[in-house]
A and B are shown apart, each in its own frame.
Chain A
Amino acid sequence: MPTRRAVFLTVPLLALPAAALAQTAGVTADHAWARATAGMGRTAAVYVTLHAEGGADRLIGATTPRAGMAMLHESFDDHGISRMRMLDAVDLPPGQTVTFRPGGLHIMLTHLGQPLVKGDSFPLTLRFAHAKPVTVTVKVAAPGAETPPGGDAMPGMNMQ
């Protein structure tokens, strides 16, 4: 199971640019965002775009100091029933982009220490089967946002 207790980050947090783009041996991770928690919500979903530059890799887990637990999850519709399944890993085929987005792949945060507020940002460390861990800055959008918080696209980067 890909669940881990939150640990303090071992990767030093550099002054990350507004749209954090992290790159290490093999996997890039960018456009990391989450929705603000609604009401007294104690869960959140994080979305991120991953790209395996070199060979095939797999996302095997995530941690953040903001939540007691981070699980790899996928929402799916099973004949009119909305369900979520836990994943042990998410395959990252070589050269392909894997986009986590509402209604599909997400990193589910539970046991949040504090609610996520629109405009917040927080670090999330992604662990891979092969590549070194990557820490991204997660930007918090409005409670029901469908896309990452606007206005933070890096020049030349395609936001949709």
Chain B
Amino acid sequence: MVLPMNSRVRAALLPVAAFMLVLGIGAGGWLLLSHNAVPQLGGIGGPFTLTDGAGQTVTDRTLRGRYLLVYFGYTFCPDVCPTTLTAVAGALDKLGKQADRLQPVFITVDPARDTPKVIGAYTAAFSSRILGLTGTDDQIAAVAREYRVYYAKRRTGEGPGDYTMDHSSILYLMAPDGHFIAPIAANETAAQMAADIARHLNAG
């Protein structure tokens, strides 16, 4: 089984690869683990406490029992994030009934501007099935750490709101028990995303 990987997926896997090297597991071991659908070694994902668009608390426990597709971004992102969220919405359509087992989650890396109301209205513009989550600076830092996600503020002007955010361009497919299954590149088309997700849903 050959896993299609582009450079950003490879970059996401670097920590995993490094960890496996420590354990003396080579590429074959990785493929074997991938095939088992729920590699326990990745260490991607973990407990979190966040807030949804309605102001309700959502934790990793709340979401257990469904596959998760987790993506980090921000609503002031006009170019890349809308493309990814539209692909996610398109993938849900293509997956049809299978998508009932899947909960896409969009977590902001810009909690200062992305209040619950803002994040909720943003995800709703792409699909009512995408769950937008925000939190305090500490809560966002914690969940980003759990998911090995990088983010950083870049100033674009003098005003307090004049900045953009750099953020990891990976989505994480998580199993119903909370374990990491596979990374999905944020630049995949809806069809590629649906095919990747379906493969794992069918295996699991």
Contacts and interface: CB of A to CB of B under 8 A. Distances in A.
A27 interface: no
Contact of A144 (B10, B76, B124, B126): B126
Interface in A97-119: 102-103, 106, 108-110
Nearest to A42: B76
Interface in A114-150: 143-146
A45 B122 contact: no
A144 B75 contact: no
B11 interface: yes
A41 B76 CA distance: 6
Contacts of B164: 84
Nearest to B89: A144
Contacts of B126: 38, 143-144
B166 A146 contact: no
Taking each of B9, B118, B164, which has the highest tally of chain A beta carbons within 10 Å of its own beta carbon?
Answer: B164
A81 interface: yes
Q: How large is the interface on A (under 10, 10 to 19, 20 to 34, 35 or more residues)?
A: 35 or more
B170 interface: yes
A62 to B, nearest CB: 14
A38 B168 contact: no
Interface in A70-115: 71, 73, 75, 77-84, 86, 102-103, 106, 108-110
Interface in A32-71: 35-45, 69, 71
Contact of A79 (B11, B79, B156): B11
A77 B86 contact: no
Nearest to B132: A39
Interface of A: 3, 35-45, 69, 71, 73, 75, 77-84, 86, 102-103, 106, 108-110, 143-146
Interface of B: 7-12, 73, 75-80, 82-83, 85-87, 89, 117-126, 150, 154, 156-157, 161-162, 164, 166-170, 186-187
Closest A-B pairs by Cβ, 6 of them: A144-B86, A39-B121, A80-B11, A38-B125, A39-B122, A82-B169
